[in-house]
Structure 1
Amino acid sequence: MKVTVWNENRHEKTNEKVSEIYPEGIHGQLASFLEEAGYDTRTATLDEPEHGLTDEVLNESDVLVWWGHMAHEEVTEEVAEKVKQRVLDGMGLVVLHSAHFSKVFKKLMGTGCDLKWREADEKERLWVADPTHPITEGIGEYIELEKEEMYGEHFDIPAPDELVFISWFEGGEVFRSGATFKRGRGKIFYFRPGHETYPTYHNKEIQKVIINGVKWAANTNTPEPVRGNHQPLEEITKK
């Protein structure tokens, strides 16, 4: 399986705390544990030509993992539309944390994707809402994070096809933190944790969920549907 990890790579260049937590960038950290899991992994970042997402890269990617926050509007419409089309054509998409506001995710959801948020170093408990789902394989009843950014309802997304995780925060809010969607031939997994100033992507349970999510989103065997004007399979009796 070929996986591309995309990241703005902006916080790492401007925030010393982020660069200390992720010296190889958030994309580098994500790619490292995906590679250890056996995936053929490459990275792409915002400031590369075509944001690193050339036709060749997208066509070769079984799954695209997307992290963004401060520069959503710098992603060109052309690239966002190309990614959307690749998802519709069957590429898997794993959308992490603040990428809920990315052009790609909003285009695929068809909604504003807004929510409540707060940075207060509060505890998050991610409850497994569907213990039978392959994305939760190897995870217990919940994952507890000592400190994370709060995301709260109402989350302006369509009703998910499957709700996998629900978060509770120390301040009292709850959030649909793990949700799946199908768009065209592609599968999408949104997973909430991962604010840049916390070492969330070093957490082994969070890594396991993302590894499982990439495996689930891969869709290499679905046949391409036949559409358009079609000849009858049986002889039509003329009346």
Structure 2
Amino acid sequence: MTIKAVVWGENIHEQTNEVVRSIYPNGMHNTIAAALNTDAGIEATTATLQEPEHGLSVERLAKTDVLLWWGHKDHGAVSDEIVERVAKRVWEGMGLIVLHSGHFSKPFKRLMGTPCALKWREAGERERLWVINPRHPIAEGLDGNFVLENEEMYGEQFSVPEPLETVFISWFAGGEVFRSGLTWRRGAGNIFYFRPGHETYPTYHDANVHKVLRNSVKWAYNPQGTYSAIHDAPNVPVEEALEPIVERGPKLHQAGEEGYK
């Protein structure tokens, strides 16, 4: 079955910055989608901040297996309604891949529940990404490390929850290190954060980065489909208890009442 991926891009820097436009004349979101579409098992389309509902209608998200998110300049412009819509779909099993400065995006912070802050420096430094979990599916086909000659530095501490897995750690020419490939599970949804991707450098033209992106889409995909029951909070009647019980003491809710949420 083909994995349906949506690459969401803020699509501001490409319109306002000549350097970014020269590197990504069709936009970073289209460059990423094109890299994903080289794999016959992935069908990638795009959505941007400027579209109605940011390109993420209820109907479209319902058909999305994996959402990739890149934002930077205007995280605040993302509608809170869309943020909750994305979080709901992740809980139900949609995969989410958060790229670079998307660490401060509303959906990522909503799902992490932490500040997601870090140190940074924009100096075109060499970044060496070390594969510290070589058997992980996201690292498939990679050597023990790979280099991006120019990147923005991100440094620890990265104020995110303890990840399930750490796939990559980055070293920068200035000396800092960073956990640059991390996974989590939220509800039924797989989440992967991948650090590289500063807009003034050609990171999304790099073959190793393309490999990580394709691998991560396949890893994040949940073949079991939508788990809508994760939102249910049923009031189980006494007579439906698995073992016979006798009701005792006062109670707040009457039989069959939905309860407070």
TM-score by length of 1: 0.95
* Partner residue, 2:254: none
Q: In the alignment, which of 189, 192, 195 is matched to residue 192 of structure 2?
A: 189
Q: Structure 1 residues 47, 128: closer, same or farther in 2, change over 3 A? A: same
User: Which structure has the larger Rg?
Assistant: 2
Whole-Å Cα distance in 1 between the matches of residues 245 and 12 of structure 2? 66
Q: Structure 1 residues 61, 222: closer, same or farther in 2, change over 3 A? A: closer
For residues 1-150 of structure 1, the aligned pairs below 5 Å read 1-38=3-40, 39-150=42-153
For 2:120, the aligned partner's letter is: W
Sequence identity (%): 57
Unaligned runs of 5+ in 1: none
Cα offsets for 1:158-192 (capped at 9, x unmatched): 00010110000000000010000000000000000
Whole-Å Cα distance in 2 between the matches of residues 68 and 223 of structure 1? 26
Q: Structure 1 residues 232, 27: closer, same or farther in 2, change over 3 A? A: same
Shift of 1:222: 5.9
Secondary structure of the residue aligned to 1:36 is coil
TM-score by length of 2: 0.87
Shift of 1:236: 4.0
Shift of 1:232: 4.8
Shift of 1:121: 1.1
Whole-Å Cα distance in 2 between the matches of residues 36 and 206 of structure 1? 13
Whole-Å Cα distance in 1 between the matches of residues 241 and 67 of structure 2? 38
Secondary structure of the residue aligned to 2:61 is helix
Shift of 1:220: 2.3
Shift of 1:221: 1.2
Whole-Å Cα distance in 2 between the matches of residues 237 and 128 of structure 1? 54
Contact 1:96 1:191 in 2 (8 A): yes
For 1:118, the aligned partner's letter is: R
Matched, 1:199 2:202: yes
Unaligned runs of 5+ in 2: 247-261
Contact 1:12 1:19 in 2 (8 A): yes
Secondary structure of the residue aligned to 2:37 is helix
Whole-Å Cα distance in 2 between the matches of residues 219 and 206 of structure 1? 22
Shift of 1:41: 1.4
Q: In the alignment, which of 215, 220, 228 is matched to residue 217 of structure 1?
A: 220
Whole-Å Cα distance in 1 between the matches of residues 106 and 124 of structure 2? 28
Contact 1:63 1:214 in 2 (8 A): yes
For 2:152, the aligned partner's letter is: E
Contact 2:94 2:226 in 1 (8 A): no
Whole-Å Cα distance in 2 between the matches of residues 207 and 86 of structure 1? 25
Secondary structure of the residue aligned to 1:148 is strand
Q: In the alignment, which of 147, 152, 157 is matched to residue 155 of structure 2?
A: 152
Whole-Å Cα distance in 1 between the matches of residues 10 and 54 of structure 2? 9
Contact 1:185 1:222 in 2 (8 A): no
For 2:13, the aligned partner's letter is: H
Shift of 1:237: 8.6
Contact 1:121 1:148 in 2 (8 A): yes
For 2:4, the aligned partner's letter is: K
Whole-Å Cα distance in 1 between the matches of residues 217 and 28 of structure 2? 16
Shift of 1:126: 0.5
